[in-house]
Amino acid sequence: MKKMIENIFSGDIHSAASLITMIENSREDSIDYIKEIFPHTGNAYVIGITGSPGAGKSTLVSEVISSYRKQGKTVGVIAVDSSSPFTGGAVLGDRIRMQKHEADDKGVFVRSMATRGNLGGLSRATRDAVFVMDAMGRDIIIIETVGVGQVELDVAKMAYTTAVVLTPGMGDDIQAIKAGIMEIGDIFLINKADLDGAGRVEKDVFYMLHIRGARHDNWQPEIFKTVALTGEGIPEFVQGIEKHRKFLLETGLIDNKKYTKGQLINLIKERLEIMVLHDIDGSVDECVQKIVHKEIDPYTASDIIINKIKS
Amino acid sequence: MKKMIENIFSGDIHSAASLITMIENSREDSIDYIKEIFPHTGNAYVIGITGSPGAGKSTLVSEVISSYRKQGKTVGVIAVDSSSPFTGGAVLGDRIRMQKHEADDKGVFVRSMATRGNLGGLSRATRDAVFVMDAMGRDIIIIETVGVGQVELDVAKMAYTTAVVLTPGMGDDIQAIKAGIMEIGDIFLINKADLDGAGRVEKDVFYMLHIRGARHDNWQPEIFKTVALTGEGIPEFVQGIEKHRKFLLETGLIDNKKYTKGQLINLIKERLEIMVLHDIDGSVDECVQKIVHKEIDPYTASDIIINKIKS
């Protein structure tokens, strides 16, 4: 264990990847490692990038990586796939494209995280993977997510700056569903801005930001147009991230983003759950049978089991 | 309380709507009502219908309602909106269209459920709303959901028959992300089947079902083409639901669907969480500060708080 942790501190990708695999598989001993490395974290800048499948996120992330590499910064990428809780990793094809960076540059470490049938655990695993990359000494950590489910909302809390990627021609319905996503974006990107309709999406975003009014942190989200395939707009986007970082530093708000109450509560819930489920397995089966046969209602059943746990 | 419950048993929509509002607002006393009505549930047939926004689900549900009404059956519809955790109800516009049924027919009761910032609670609220409509004596209960997040997976467990709605021209990426949804469908609908590409989607679905192999319950999911706007294919779809219902009855599998272990565990978790969060609020705030200042790591913090709960 000591050797592996030393290797991680010295930036060794192989050791870091092993630990992230342990985390992903929910191995109990991964927790001991996190406890050890935690004091050495807090130096990386964490960026969240989310958007629909097909929005060109992977190409975009690839361009952002290149931009930070040119500044001499090391980059870690965590590609979180919450989309297919059963089959695991349907959109991972995209990741392969990104790994071109990895093959010839030790300054880039790309890692996919897929759910193992447990969406709750995915947020925690992502948080822990951030700790690992941070302890490795990565300057920039990018978390890439798909859409706007619970995991994406959790990731938005972990990231200092969250960028939301939209594209022209998504249709009215898709735009409507993005209402939730408006709340999490510090930066909005209209990618594929060379396509018809880019102006309209930009106007929509502008309008939605406008009607929402001022955020409680007083940050005014910015909108950038990009064409990831040609690299157009990427320098402006990266400058936008830096501007938001400065804002967080100057206002002291960066501290609020370092570890939130919600994250600790989720961790407590998850661990409690694991403990509880170990203890009560037989009782639960018995109660389910009684519920099915209408001998007991679900709430009374849950009372019985909770009392058993507390005693 | 006694009067309201009697009203619900006699099918009164106003009383049922009031109770569902209590449930949606997570009011503690709604639990007492559920305990009372629970023994009178279990007679309705619960159907889940899920698909992307823009797939024409609302029109489809409207047609299915008409079909069941012609058979003299009463219908309850629960339209679950998990899409916008912050703004609440962005896609509710669709619901309004469905309510034409409600205005002039007491045999149809349509109800929207939106999250109040708590996605976890939404599944439970939906389950309880099903109990209410069941206790009212509704023959058929349709739960309409959007996409394939945790709530949709939970709903697929509540529903006896789950139908997944796809449409032509969704693009490769969208289809890819539907990998998870393949697992929950007992029936697949290709809606808007008059559009170009319907044959291709059908082939894709057929192929994905084929490569997955036999389900452990040995049900062979069926595929139907529909044009909800004209009513084309709806009778076949409704017959498909009946066929699946018969399969569940004949194999005895319907009992497994009546109340699952997973549902009870979720309920226990949720109630435990509420109890716990009440107790530990101050400790959590304190721990978060220590974590931010690297005086303690998150896992050690969660150990401390869990020990506090257990003592």
Q: What local confidence, expressed as pLDDT, does residue B101 receive?
A: 66
Q: How far are the Cα atoms of A119, B157, B264 from residue B261, in angstroms, in the given order?
A: 18, 10, 5
In the block, which residue shows the tokens 């509420």?
A: B274
Radius of gyration of chain A from Cα atoms? 21
Residue A98: predicted pLDDT = 57
CB contact under 8 A, A83 and B276: no
Chain B residue numbers touching A183 (CB-CB < 8 A): 86-87
Distance, in Å, from the CA atom of B303 to the CA atom of A90, rounded to the nearest integer, reads 35
| Minimum Cα–Cα distance from B258: chain A residue | A292
pLDDT of residue A89: 40
Over B153-183, what HEC string results? HHHHHHCCEEEEEECCCCHHHHHHHHHHHHH
Task: Tell me the pLDDT band of B55, cut-offs 50, 70 and 90.
Answer: confident
Q: What is the mean pLDDT of chain B?
A: 84
Give me the pLDDT at residue A118, please. 59
Distance between CA A234 and CA A225 in Å, rounded? Answer: 9
- A302: closest chain B residue by CA: B268
Q: Tell me, which fold does domain A42-256 have in CATH? A: Rossmann fold (3.40.50)
Structure pTM? 0.68
A261-303: per-residue pLDDT in tens?
A: 888 888 888 887 777 677 666 788 889 889 988 899 999 998 8
- Among the partner-chain residues A183, A255, A276, the one whose CB lies closest to the CB of B272 is A276
ipTM of the complex: 0.78
pLDDT band at A100 (very low <50, low <70, confident <90, very high): low
Q: Whole-angstrom Cα distance, residue B133 to residue B74?
A: 10
pLDDT mean over A122-130: 92
- Residue range B164-176: mean pLDDT, rounded: 65
Question: CA–CA separation, A174 vs A190, rounded Å?
Answer: 14
Q: Which residue of A has its CA nearest to B31?
A: A299
Q: What is the dihedral of CA A271, A276, A279, A280, to 10 degrees?
A: -150
A138 alpha-carbon distance from chain centroid: 16
Q: If we measure between CA atoms, which residue out of B206, B68, B195 comes closest to residue B138?
A: B68
Radius of gyration of chain B (CA): 21
Q: Are A180 and B83 an interchain contact pair (Cβ–Cβ within 8 Å)?
A: yes
Burial class (CB in 10 A: 0-12, 13-18, 19+), A11: middle
Rounded average pLDDT over A117-135: 85
Q: What is the pLDDT of residues A41-95, one digit of tens each?
A: 999 999 999 887 778 888 999 999 999 999 999 999 999 876 544 333 434 444 5
User: Best of B92, B259, B300 to disrupt the A interface by mutation (most A CBs within 10 Å)?
Assistant: B259
| Cα B1 to chain centroid, rounded | 27
Cα A80-A85-A90 angle, rounded to 5 deg: 65
Query: How far apart are the C-alpha atoms of B279 and B281, rounded to whole Å?
Result: 6
**Contact at CB, A294 and B39, closer than 8 angstroms:** yes
Q: Which residues contact A208 (CB under 8 A, 6 or more apart)?
A: A179, A182
- What are the chain A neighbours of B297 within 8 Å (beta carbons)? 34-35, 38-39
- SS3 letters for A8-48? HHCCCHHHHHHHHHHHHCCCCCHHHHHHHHHHHCCCCEEEE
What chain A residue is nearest to B28 in terms of C-alpha separation? A299
Helix (H, G, I), strand (E, B) or coil at A178: coil
> Helix (H, G, I), strand (E, B), or coil: what is residue A77?
strand
Of A183, A272, A287, the CB nearest to B264: A287
Any residues with CB less than 8 A from the CB of A136 and at least 6 apart, and which? Answer: A8, A9, A11, A12, A13, A16, A76, A109
> Is there a contact between A284 and B297 if contact means CB atoms under 8 Å apart?
no
Residue A136: pLDDT above 80?
Answer: yes
- Mutation pick from A59, A132, A297 vs chain B, by most beta carbons of B within 10 Å, is A297
Q: What is the pLDDT of residue A184?
A: 86
Dist. CA B240–CA B224, nearest whole Å: 8
CB contact under 8 A, B285 and A258: no
- Contact check, Cβ <8 Å, B299/A39: no
| Tokens, residue A122 | 């995915």
Q: What is the dihedral of CA A169, A175, A180, A181, to 10 degrees?
A: 20
The answer to whether B268 contacts A84, with C-beta atoms less than 8 Å apart, is no
Long-range contacts made by residues B287-294, C-beta under 8 angstroms, separation at least 24? B287/A264, B288/A259, B288/A260, B288/A261, B288/A264, B291/A258, B291/A259, B291/A264, B292/A255, B292/A258, B292/A259, B294/A38, B294/A39, B294/A41, B294/A42
Mutation target for B interface from A41, A178, A299, A308: give the one with most B CBs within 10 A: A299
Q: Residue range B144-159: average pLDDT?
A: 82
Q: Which of B261, B264, B288 sits opposite A302 (nearest CB)?
A: B264
Helix then strand count (H, E) for chain B reads 14, 7
Subunit contact B268:A280, Cβ cutoff 8 A: yes
Query: Looking at per-residue confidence, does A133 or A197 come out higher?
Result: A133
> Domain spans of chain B?
40-258, 263-310
- pLDDT for position A274: 75
| pLDDT tens string A201-253 | 888 888 878 877 788 889 999 999 999 999 999 999 999 999 999 999 999 99
Q: What is the pLDDT of residue B122?
A: 86
How confident is the model over B91-120, as pLDDT tens digits?
A: 444 454 555 665 678 899 999 887 665 556
Best CA proximity match to B98, nearest among B196, B228, B9, B224? B228
CATH topology of domain B40-258: Rossmann fold (3.40.50)
The side-by-side arrangement of strands in the sheet containing B161-166 is: B108-114, B75-81, B140-146, B45-51, B161-166, B187-190, B222-225
